[in-house]
Structure 1
Amino acid sequence: MAATPTRFPNATRRIACVTGASSGIGRACAVALAREGWTVVISARRAADLDETVRLAKETRQAAEVRPFPGDLGKPEDVDALFDFIRREYGRLDLLFNNAGRSVAPVPLEEVSLEDFQSIVGVNLVAPFLATQHAFRIMKNQTPQGGRIINNGSISAHTPRPFSAPYTMTKHAITGLTKSAALDGRAYNIACSQIDIGNAESAMVGAMKPGGSLQPNGERIQEPVMPVEHVADAIVHMASLPLNVNILNQVRSTPLSSPLSSKPTLSSPCKPSWRRRCRSSGAASRARRCLVCNRRLAVAGM
């Protein structure tokens, strides 16, 4: 019986693909992987910004090989073209970071246009599903067999923001994709992980800064952010693990003063109508957390 490979191939090249690499998290991860010796194929819509990612990678390591492939991953044919390029140029794939994503300005659920909804689902969910399919086909049939897929989930896979139904739906669905791919890939040495990121200093988070981020109580506040390099370090660590070791889900949150952290602090309490208040005490009540602000409260008879 053949030995099961447990690490990325000890070859001259380890091939990675990073989507959404024209800025923010994707760019930082592409640069960090290139610095560690990976050959990185990067994709996004803006060709000029991809070229800037290549330049930054070469600043950190002159011999870095970073190949830009412009395309709109909201179009299935562009996803196909990206992976055709990887097959043609390298014949293998060791790491896929499904990072590309988009959101729209927060609006009440009933006012979300079908066009915006379909656009978000196309980029945030359909594209990573198709990319994962392509990665499976390559990784199952290459020698040595296997590889790693990392999905960018989001804190929104756990805690929604107000008026963010389409984005939040896709991020919950990504968790389902991650778990299914991890299960289905196990027999082929394909590991699948997810990283759920809080407020990293990206263009998407930057768009919320001018007026502050909308909170569940209707206020807007300036939320703290963390450098995208912190996320990149986590991705490099996950990518370097043996394939028989898998971090199914990693949460990279912001400081505790952020409403998206595990112990959020709001400038004022939730409105009484937004949460179930404590109606009794003693053994009959059990500790619960508010679904809006996560504060502990006692709810009777539950």
Structure 2
Amino acid sequence: MSEGSAVSQRSVVSRIAVVTGAGSGIGRAVALELAEAGWSVVLAGRREDALAETARLAGSGALPVRTDVTRPAEVDALFATVRDRFGRLDLLFNNAGAFGPPVPLDELSYEDWRAVVDTNLTGAFLCAQGAFRLMRAQDPQGGRIINNGSISAHVPRPHSIAYTATKHAMTGLTKSLSLDGRRYSIACGQIDIGNAATEMTERMSTGILQANGEVRAEPVMDAADVARTVRHMAALPLEANVQFATVMATAMPYIGRG
């Protein structure tokens, strides 16, 4: 290995990432992909047993930190752990999310609405704020935030008003973070994912309500394909940014949905 290659490899190994919702699904897939690429990955999520399993799969470079992203004190503790353990943060994958019950709008309870908003929007803001503070203060300054949007950041599914509203709001969060982070070398992008095979999307393969009232199965893709896209976005130098990326099952009914 040449001297230049060795320096490059050490640089990759030294990178620090936080992945929220890392106990399963997209979060776990991304955490494993980053760990494979040499990142040290801080795994955030509410379920300790699930985080421990992700950490086991990821290897010695993974650190599980139980975190409920809807609770400001727990988010503060997460980023304090990152600062104290590693001294810096290079990447936040803002991934934790909830869909909520798929019920007609007039049957959605306030409690269910609030739970989705608190997780998908307020939780994403709190984590972005914590990452932003670290990235702005550290030396060298800067870092990257990648938000998990959704196909629903563009078009809704039936009976998804809370999820759709928060994912549209995620796009605004991404744009504001990009603008506010520009002077501090903090890049922010968004990955909009359609029908990745996870626990959250199991019903896609058995049948899901369509805009025309039919219920039918939809194609899904491997979550590893999403993870490789996040890895590419994360590996770019801070002078370059994927602002928005859409990764979806090729045959899913997205184009022309509705």
Same fold at TM > 0.5: yes
Q: Does 1:40 align with 2:41?
A: yes
Percent of residue pairs bearing the same amino acid type: 54
Distance in 1 of aligned mates of 2:112 and 2:204: 18
Which residue identity is paired with 1:37? G
Q: Give the match for residue 68 of structure 1.
A: 64
Q: Which residue of 1 aligns with 2:53?
A: 52
2:166 matched residue in structure 1? 170
Supply the AA of the counterpart residue of 2:35.
A
- CA deviations 1:50-102 (Å, max 9, x no partner) are 111112113xxxxx410001122122222122112111211210000000000
8 Å CA contact retained: 1:14, 1:93: yes
Letter in 2 for 1:15: I
Match of 1:221 among 206, 216, 219: 216
Paired residue secondary structure (2:233): helix
Q: Deviations over 1:203-262 (max 9, x none)?
A: 11014444x111011111110100000000000000000101111100001122x212x3
List per-residue Cα deviations over 1:169-192 (Å, max 9, x = no partner).
000000000001001101110000
Equivalent runs, 1:288-299 vs 2, <5 Å: 292=258
- Deviation (angstroms), 1:45: 1.0
1:233 aligns with 2:234: no
RMSD, matched Cα:
1.6
Structure 2 residue 141 is matched with structure 1 residue 140: no
How many Å apart are 1:134 and its aligned residue? 0.9
The CA distance in 2 between the partners of 1:169 and 1:48, in whole Å, is 31
TM-score scaled to structure 2, two decimals?
0.93
**Local SS of the residue matching 2:58:** helix
Q: Hey, what does 2:176 align to over in structure 1?
A: 180
**C-alpha distance in structure 1 between counterparts of 2:227 and 2:210, whole Å:** 28
Match of 1:193 in 2: 189
Gaps of 5+ in 2: 1-7
Q: CA deviation at 1:147?
A: 0.3
Equivalent residues, number: 250
Partner in structure 1 of residue 109 of structure 2: 113
Higher helix share: 2
Question: 1:256-285: per-residue Cα shift (whole Å, max 9, x none)?
Answer: 2x212x356xxxxxxxxxxxxxxxxxxxxx
The answer for the alignment partner of 2:21 in structure 1 is 20
Residues in 1 aligned to 2:204 and 2:65: alpha-carbon distance in whole angstroms: 29
SS of equivalent residue, structure 1 residue 197 = strand
Q: Distance in 2 between matches of 1:46 and 1:19?
A: 11
- The aligned residue for residue 3 of structure 2 is none
1:259 maps to what in 2? 253
Q: Does 1:125 align with 2:121?
A: yes
Match of 1:206 among 202, 206, 230: 202
Specify every segment of 5 or more residues in structure 1 that has no aligned partner in the other structure, as ranges. Answer: 1-6, 59-63, 265-291, 293-302
> Kindly tell me: are residues 11 and 230 of structure 1, through their superposed partners in 2, closer, same or farther at Cα, counting changes over 3 Å?
closer
Note if contact 2:205-2:219 (Cα within 8 Å) is conserved in structure 1: no
User: Normalising by the residue count of structure 1, what TM-score does the alignment of the two structures yield?
Assistant: 0.80
SS in 1 for 2:11: coil
State the structure with more CA Rg. 1
